[in-house]
Amino acid sequence: MPRSLQLALIVFAPFAVFMAMVGADRAFGAPGRGRDYVLRIELPAASAEIGLPLVAGPPDASRPLVVIDAGHGGHDPGAGQGPIKEKMLTLALAQALRNELLAQGGVRVALTRSDDRYLLLPERTGIARRLGADLFLSIHADSVAAGDASGASVYTLSERGSDEAAVRMAERENRADRINGVTLAGQSDAISAILVDLSQRETQAQAAEFARLVLREGQGRITFRPGPLQSAAFIVLKAPDVPSVLFESGYISNSKDTARLLSREGQKAFADATAQAIRVYFARQSIR
């Protein structure tokens, strides 16, 4: 092949890719402007609502259901500058906790993800709501750019987050959903927001109770940082009718924390303590 033709092909190839991306009609004008061709690329239709995960445990729908969310996943690795990524730790911890709960029996369990996949934040809480979960636990690992912070912490939703979420949830549901068994259909926006807010305040109180149980059951088994009980407006904590807690299991930026969370002993301690907190929480709820 003549060298001049080779050079022409090299120059044209990136241009052809550009044309495929933007479409010939955008680049040179649509038919009727002196051009008689249009290059169109059919995109796949928007995916439907994601499928629900398997619920493991007793085949009795009256048994309490906890949805465990392994933070991050897929193209979102989370924290971690080296080969160990947050998404790996969170999945290992979620699976260890699920296995411990199933081994003890009496509690149904579902994971938002059981492999290395990406989920949007609303999809994670959406899974819990669609399954009718009694408790939602999102597992993460913290990180700091400087310093040597270490230890676990437990987050519940802040009051400010509750107010914002109540209004947004009422708008999104468009008065056509049920919150804690109360139908919002036919209610005004103001009443819907009040109902959502009241429901969320109750779920916040339940989440705070569970968070305190995690700290209690984790004493001597999990290393917590100073002031481990925190609150923030995390999106995954804003379901109005599912008590939700975010568990920062440690600092992936701390080598000792990372080694502990990667070890079989560390994962067992995390699973044992958290499973016990879950069982005590459900036991208390059942007698109310």
| Non-local CB neighbours of 263 within 8 Å, separated by 6+ positions | none
Report the mean per-residue pLDDT for the chain: 80
Q: Are residues 155 and 270 in the same domain?
A: yes
Q: Is residue 138 part of a domain?
A: yes
Q: Is residue 53 part of a domain?
A: no
pLDDT category at 246 given cuts 50, 70, 90 is: very high
Q: Are residues 35 and 78 in the same domain?
A: no
Tell me the CATH number at 140. Answer: 3.40.630.40
* Single pTM value for the model: 0.74
Give backbone dihedrals phi and psi of 133, rounded to 5 degrees, phi first.
Answer: -65, 150
pLDDT of residue 162: 44
Who has greater pLDDT, 21 or 58? 58
pLDDT category at 18 given cuts 50, 70, 90 is: very low
Instruction: State the amino acid at position 201 in one-letter form.
Output: R
Q: Is residue 168 part of a domain?
A: yes
Q: What is the mean pLDDT of residues 119-143?
A: 95
DSSP assignment of 146-179? SS----EEEEEE-HHHHHHHHHHHHHHHTT-SEE
pLDDT category at 238 given cuts 50, 70, 90 is: confident
What is the extent of the structural domain holding 104? 65-286
pLDDT of residue 80: 87
40 has pLDDT over 70: no
| 100: enclosing H helix or E strand | helix 86-104
Q: How far is the C-alpha of 188 from the C-alpha of 242, rounded, in Å?
A: 23
Q: What is the mean pLDDT of residues 85-93?
A: 97
Instruction: State the amino acid at position 210 in one-letter form.
Output: F
Q: Is residue 148 part of a domain?
A: yes
The percent of residues above 90 in pLDDT, for the chain, comes to: 57
Q: Is residue 58 part of a domain?
A: no
Return the structure tokens found at 37. Answer: 């061709």
Q: What is the mean pLDDT of residues 136-154?
A: 91
pLDDT of residue 50: 80
39 has pLDDT over 90: no
Find the distance separating the first CA and the last CA of the chain, reported in whole Å.
Answer: 84
